[in-house]
Amino acid sequence: MQTVAQQQRRNLATARKQPVALESLVYEVLDGRPLYYRGYEDVLAGKKLPEDIMGSSSLHWVIASYFMQLMILDLDGKKYWFASNEAGVHIDHWNNLSQDVAIYDKQVLTPDKINTQYVNVPAKVAIEIDVKADVSKVADFNYVNRKTKKLLDFGSDKVIWIFSSSQQVMVAERNADAWLTMDWHRDLELLDGQIFNIGRYLEEEGIQVE
């Protein structure tokens, strides 16, 4: 019986024989520039499989699940759609972005706009959990701010970023004079008075983040 390590080595050996198309590793397109999943160069070199870099970490999906719980339990499902799983948003020909979690107003995202394509209207609230794109190039160093501004300019009321490495939350609102970055143990508003506190939630679940 093969061990997990042996199976992984066999999968990598198979991957080296089947080159991966660079286009399949695109995470987003921002201002006409393709951004690839972080670690894409290892896939091209045959050191990793595409699923190794495209999948979410356990911490990532736990935080995403936390937001989905809050939305489903405490927000009005008759007023809002709740999106997850890197929900795509098409802003224009030069910008196709993804959102880890998003809240859409049903009066904006009407039934006739729901199809097999990316959504082409703004989310009321967009939530991003860490940076999954490769931003090692100098041109991409300001990725978080550029993506945030792009979503706000498109019409989102609020963009929330969660940074697990620093245990911080950034909240950017369309009509605010400044974007605020705070410790993730603080109570912060999600929407319609609903509060979230990531640090407290993880502690209650017994999860320690180093």
The reported pLDDT for the residue numbered 65 is 97
Question: What is the pLDDT at residue 95?
Answer: 97
83 and 168 in one domain?
A: yes
169 and 71 co-located in one domain: yes
Given this model, what pLDDT does residue 20 score? 84
In this structure, the answer to whether residues 131 and 183 fall within a common structural domain is: yes
Domain membership of residue 28 as a residue range: 4-54
Q: Which pLDDT value is given to residue 154?
A: 98
Same structural domain for residues 137 and 115? yes
Phi, psi of 161 (to 5 degrees): -110, 135
Give a yes or no: residue 209 inside a domain.
no
For the chain, 210 residues long, the average pLDDT of each consecutive 10-residue run is 59 61 93 94 91 91 97 96 94 96 98 96 98 90 95 98 97 94 97 97 95
As to burial, measured by CB atoms within 10 angstroms (0-12 exposed, 13-18 middle, 19+ buried), residue 94 is exposed
- Assess whether 50 and 148 both reside in one domain: no
Q: Quote the pLDDT of residue 14.
A: 58
Phi-psi map region of 48: left, alpha, beta (phi>0 left; psi -120 to 50 alpha): beta
Same domain, 71 and 46: no
In this structure, what token pair is assigned to residue 184?
Answer: 């993730």
- 119: CATH: 3.90.1570.10
Q: What is the pTM of this model?
A: 0.88
* pLDDT computed for residue 12 by the predictor: 54
Q: Which residues pair with 35 in a beta bridge?
A: 28
Residue 151 near residue 183 (C-beta atoms within 8 A): no
The total number of structural domains in the chain stands at: 2
- What is the rounded distance in angstroms from the CA atom of residue 22 to the CA atom of residue 43? 9
Final residue before a domain boundary, out of 19, 35, 54:
54
193 & 112 share domain? yes
Query: In this structure, is residue 146 part of a structural domain?
Result: yes
pLDDT at 85: 86
Does 138 map to a domain?
yes
Please report whether residue 12 resides in a domain: yes
Question: Does one domain contain both 74 and 111?
Answer: yes
